[in-house]
Amino acid sequence: MMAVLMLFLRHLSIEDMIHLGESQNKIVGQAVENHLRSQFGTLQNVFARLDGKPPEREMAATAVSNSLSQQIAGLPVLRISILNLEGRVIASSTTEKNGRSRAEDAAFKIARDGNSNSRRRPSSASETLSSFVPLRESTGRVIGVLEIDSDLAPVLANIDKHVTHVFIALLTALVLLYVILFQVVRRADKVIRQ
């Protein structure tokens, strides 16, 4: 019974952590969007430069990638990528993702339609929370999507540690209660015999 309760507690803790991570990633997305606007003027300028001709496109991608890397320094964010409406990564804080297509990704499609969403992705190295946040021009029209990947491994380890502590505390309390009840019953039995 206690094991079931502990699994339920772990599940609730992970769900809370995911909601908190989604909120955190939205805030990071807003900060990145504001930074891009302050650095490049408008988001339309950013996308025009990133979708431009090859020499200008590479220079813009390098400038935006460096800006993204600076923005996530010290945060529990693994990677930020800017995707155009076709789903192609046009800038990323890690260069290995540039050019990759996310067009068939359901989470990307939801964000392209104007709704932020997140999903938990297990991998061999660690577990990540991928949030997709729509980028909007001043009129409110979606012109791209921001993908933010956060590392869940430290938080999951922390949740497991706390669940273990709660399990040990409950087990100790139950054993202590059993010992006290055993002593009470033993004493009552002794009194009845006398």
Give the whole-angstrom CA distance, residue 25 versus residue 149.
Answer: 8
Give the whole-angstrom CA distance, residue 184 versus residue 163.
Answer: 31
Average pLDDT of the chain? 83
Structure tokens that stand for 181 in this block: 């009840």
Instruction: Decide if pLDDT at 136 tops 60.
Output: yes
| Cα distances (Å, whole numbers) of residue 14 to 20, 50, 152, 157, 163 | 10, 37, 10, 11, 11
State pLDDT tens for residues 84-113. Answer: 888 888 888 876 666 778 888 888 889 889
CB distance 82 to 50 below 8 Å: yes
pLDDT at 95: 66
Directed axis angle between helix 153-193 and helix 2-40, to 10°?
A: 160
Nearest 10 degrees: Cα torsion 122, 123, 127, 130 = -70
State pLDDT tens for residues 50-61. Answer: 776 777 777 777
One-character DSSP codes across 43-95: HHHHHHHHTS-HHHHHHHHHHHHHHHHHHHTTSSEEEEEEE-TTSBEEEESSG
pLDDT at 184: 93
Sheet of strand 127-136, all strands in order from the earlier edge strand to the far edge: 89-92, 77-83, 142-151, 127-136, 117-122
Instruction: Decide if pLDDT at 124 tops 60.
Output: no
Give the whole-angstrom CA distance, residue 28 versus residue 21.
Answer: 10
Which residue would you say has higher pLDDT here, 128 or 99? Answer: 128
pLDDT grade, residue 180 (50/70/90)? very high
pLDDT at 125: 64
pLDDT at 86: 87
Select the highest-mean-pLDDT range: 88-92, 136-140, 185-189: 185-189
Instruction: Decide if pLDDT at 80 tops 70.
Output: yes
Structure tokens that stand for 59 in this block: 């220079």
pLDDT at 96: 64
Which residue would you say has higher pLDDT here, 60 or 165? Answer: 165
